[in-house]
Amino acid sequence: MAPSDPRAALPEGVRLKRLGEDDIGDALALSAEAGWNQLAADWRIFLELGDAYGLTLAGECGRLIASAAILPHGDRFGWISMVLVTAAQQRRGLARWLLRHSMAALDARRLVPLLDATPAGRAVYLGLGFEDCWSLRRLVLRQPPRARSEATAEGVLVRPLKADDWPAVIAYDGAAFGAERGALLRRLAERLPPAALIAECGGKFMGLLLGRDGRVMSQLGPLVAENDAVAGALLRRAILAVGAPLAIDVADRHRRLGEWLRALGFTSERPLTRMIWGQGAAFDDAARLFAIAGPELG
């Protein structure tokens, strides 16, 4: 089964456009209306490293009423995200149309579509041929941590990421995520420098953490580490340096890390499901990928 139906048509008067720099203001209005956390820098990631699409209404000066974005990762898979429809235009099938369009765009590049779904979206995606991979949830800290963290990893040094660390960072992340995404990682490191950290022990690379600023809170991730102790040590330093409000999307399979974060005062805000089209197995290393870069990035 093809990932999209090329015969499907848009409602009368609705037009598709490829988004550019001049559309960022309208795109931000859509994501803010939904209560999401994106800044202009997030939308530029899609414009520069992937593609973003929008729907407009004829006769309304090109005002954006819906959006979607794709972000290719290497030569095996790509992300679908930012599927948004303004409230006045919902229930017209626009989100489903944009999702199919995004799937077709990735299929044309021979890339497997992936996404992180909310519970409401998951029901729609299952009907389009996506399958569940694993579950995760957003944990949010809105006040200073309730207690000083005691997360330590014996013999492990956590330090700021330096310029000459990049080859190791990109290789380590790529092995855990399933694709090389150095251009994205470099952008994240510039967004929230106090959270751009690596862990090492005796000269061996043991883990990395990045983050980014946001419209309503900062976000930590991706978090890739050899074990829970290293993941906790990286997070401890970043949490103290960045401060609340703060979000992190943690894989449910890393239960101990989630419990430790809740003990600090993080609360569960929403569940998510990582889904992949046409198969149930993801590309990532389950043992080392503790937290994602974000539902829109992978």
- Determine the Cα–Cα distance for residues 40 and 22; give it in Å rounded to an integer: 11
Do 147 and 93 share a domain, yes or no?
no
Do 40 and 177 share a domain, yes or no?
no
pLDDT per position as a tens digit, 74-112: 999 999 999 999 999 999 899 999 999 999 999 999 999
Please give the residue range of the domain that contains residue 215.
137-291
Show the 3-state SS of 133-176.
Answer: EEEEEEEEECCCCCCCCCCCCCCCEEEECCHHHHHHHHHHHHHH
Across the chain, which distance is largest between two alpha carbons, in Å? 64
Q: Which residue has the higher pLDDT, 74 or 147?
A: 74
pLDDT at 187 over 90: yes
Indicate the pLDDT class of residue 280, thresholds 50, 70 and 90: confident
Do 149 and 269 share a domain, yes or no?
yes
Is residue 241 domain-resident? yes
Q: Residue 62: its pLDDT value, please?
A: 76
- In this prediction the pTM is 0.93
Do 141 and 286 share a domain, yes or no?
yes
pLDDT per position as a tens digit, 227-253: 999 999 999 999 999 999 999 999 999
Do 26 and 151 share a domain, yes or no?
no
- Determine the Cα–Cα distance for residues 44 and 25; give it in Å rounded to an integer: 11
Do 48 and 152 share a domain, yes or no?
no
Is residue 119 domain-resident? no
CATH number at residue 151: 3.40.630.90
Q: Residue 3: its pLDDT value, please?
A: 55
pLDDT at 7 over 50: no
| 3-state DSSP assignment of residue 90 | coil
Mean pLDDT of 222-230: 97
Q: Residue 6: its pLDDT value, please?
A: 45
Q: Closest Cα partner for 84 from 75, 92, 94?
A: 94
Do 272 and 160 share a domain, yes or no?
yes
Structural domain count, the chain = 2
Q: Residue 1: its pLDDT value, please?
A: 39
Indicate the pLDDT class of residue 205, thresholds 50, 70 and 90: very high
CATH number at residue 72: 3.40.630.30
pLDDT at 154 over 80: no
Is residue 7 domain-resident? no
Lowest-pLDDT choice from 56-70, 109-123, 238-252: 56-70
Do 284 and 162 share a domain, yes or no?
yes
Give the contacts of 197 (CB within 8 A, at least 6 positions apart): 158, 159, 160, 161, 208, 209, 210, 234, 237, 238
Do 145 and 284 share a domain, yes or no?
yes
**Straight-line distance from the first to the last Cα atom of the chain, in angstroms, rounded to the nearest whole number:** 25
Report phi then psi at 223, rounded to 5. -120, 115
Report phi then psi at 132, rounded to 5. -70, 140
Q: Residue 221: its pLDDT value, please?
A: 98
Q: Closest Cα partner for 292 from 113, 77, 134, 119?
A: 134
